[in-house]
Amino acid sequence: MSSSKNPPFRVREYRPSDFPQLCAIDRLCFSEAIAYTPEEIALGLAQPGAFAIVVEGQGAEEQGQVIAFVLAQAKRRGLGHIITIDVRGEFRRLGLGRKMMELVEERLRQRGVSRILLEVSTQNEHAIRFYQELGYVNRRHLPGYYPDGSDAYLMEKVFS
């Protein structure tokens, strides 16, 4: 029986020491053809207004390990961008993605963002539904968006 005092996960700010784990998780979550390279993740983190939130495991097996993260950016003119959201497969459907998205959206709102954009593979029906449930709508089809030539949707959420 688990104690309610010790939740199995802890959401926290990204630390530079997390970088190797972020790269590994992204390669687990996406095919080699579309996963970000370590250089691309580093570039994303280095952008003005960029930040990352991580979920750290608190259970015996994954104590202290990053099991999920979201990388986002507050840009100019009230625009935000979700660069990537990754949850290790064995920790999906536990509400971690939703929790991270809520925290990221709140932080972006605090930074003056009124619109958030993200890209999602047209083949990733689960992710598309997830974003739609969070209030994102398809705005545009992006043919050949990914390095492997596959398509994406540009999705948007507007805060009232």
Reduce the DSSP state of residue 145 to 3 states and report it: coil
- Which pairs count as long-range contacts for 89-97, CB under 8 Å and 24+ apart, including other chains? 89/28, 89/29, 91/9, 91/55, 91/57, 91/67, 94/9, 96/9, 96/55, 96/67, 96/68, 97/68, 97/130
pLDDT in tens, the chain (160 residues): 344 455 688 999 999 999 999 999 999 998 888 889 999 999 999 999 999 999 998 776 777 889 999 999 999 889 999 999 999 988 988 899 999 999 999 999 999 999 999 999 999 999 999 999 999 999 999 999 998 999 999 999 999 7
